[in-house]
Amino acid sequence: MQTETGGTRAVLHHILAGRCRLAAAGVRALELAPGDLALLPAGARHRLAPGPDGPPFPPLAGPAGPAVSVVEPGAGVRILTVRGGYGRPPGPLLAAALPRALRLDRARVEAEPLLRDTLALLAAPGRRPGPGDRLLALRVLETALGLAAAPRPPDGPGRHPGIDRSVAVIETRYAEPWTVVTLAREAGMSRSAFTAAFREAVGTPPARHLTARRIREAARLLAETGLPQSAVPARVGYRSRVGFHLAFRTAYGMTPGEYRAAAPRRV
């Protein structure tokens, strides 16, 4: 049986392969598929099993175990587990307000670039535990907690076509010197109308979405290429190295150098 002690330490399970069920007292069992994420905001006791009728998996590492671990408990299941506390408010308050266990499906996880890419980094084959694991765990847990507490962005007709253009521009031309004003101009909208429509459609303000895209690309360059670290800020659209370092540390909880050191070695 998989258990964790309750308290302020959160637990997150990211399903890398296979299917399983998570059961915790006081909530409906969670059916988890590859790519799904199960979050226990306050570290509630729980168990994982391959299905409703299957025997529980053997115990994973307890709450005093590593901040990050990847295990294969059986039945073709592979799980990334992240444990830790919350570094600042309102983490504990949000944790107390949310269900004891909840599921974020694969689509929702993949729509949050910082969460998706950090999970991929932690689960990378051949990656070794490092001194940055606790900082990465903190960032993952706080991002997942915020995602769980936020309403899903609305879908449906009525979305301004300029919003789609601006999203595509951010995705593909992130290194250009965009501002909210120039993005609004690209969308064919006033700044105020663009900012409101973008936030409603995408779920985040345009400047934050642009920053997330740039930092996501920076993380990829640091982890997957040999590009000198000093060249990364300009490559992703930053004219100020200080601004880049601040944005990166805010997003990932560590410096670019620490992130590169924690990434799997390139071969």
Residue 244 has pLDDT above 90, yes or no: yes
Average pLDDT score over the chain: 82
Q: Is the peptide bond before 59 cis (omega within 30 degrees of 0)?
A: no
User: Which residue's structure tokens are 């059916």?
Assistant: 31
pLDDT at 9: 78
Choose the weakest-confidence range: 92-96, 162-166, 174-178, 196-200: 92-96
Question: Residue 94: helix, strand or coil by DSSP?
Answer: helix
Question: Residue 190: helix, strand or coil by DSSP?
Answer: coil
User: Which residue's structure tokens are 């308290």?
Assistant: 7
Q: Are residues 89 and 26 in the same domain?
A: yes
How far apart are the C-alpha atoms of 130 and 68, rounded to whole Å? 10
In a domain, 259, yes or no: yes
pLDDT digits (tens, 9 = 90+) for 176-214: 999 999 999 999 999 999 999 988 887 778 998 899 889
How far apart are the C-alpha atoms of 222 and 258, rounded to whole Å? 10
Q: Are residues 265 and 177 in the same domain?
A: yes
Q: Are residues 144 and 26 in the same domain?
A: yes
In 52-160, which residue ranges form alpha helices assigned H by DSSP?
91-97, 106-110, 113-122, 133-149
Q: Are residues 116 and 35 in the same domain?
A: yes
In a domain, 164, yes or no: yes
Nearest to 102 by CA among 14, 46, 40: 40
Q: List the domain range (segments joined by +) for residue 170.
A: 153-267
pLDDT digits (tens, 9 = 90+) for 10-48: 899 999 999 999 988 878 889 999 999 999 988 888 889
pLDDT at 138: 84
Residue 89 has pLDDT above 90, yes or no: no
Contact between 145 and 10 under an 8 Å Cβ cutoff? The reply is yes
Q: Which residues pair with 11 in a beta bridge?
A: 40, 83
- Look up the CATH number of the domain holding residue 217: 1.10.10.60
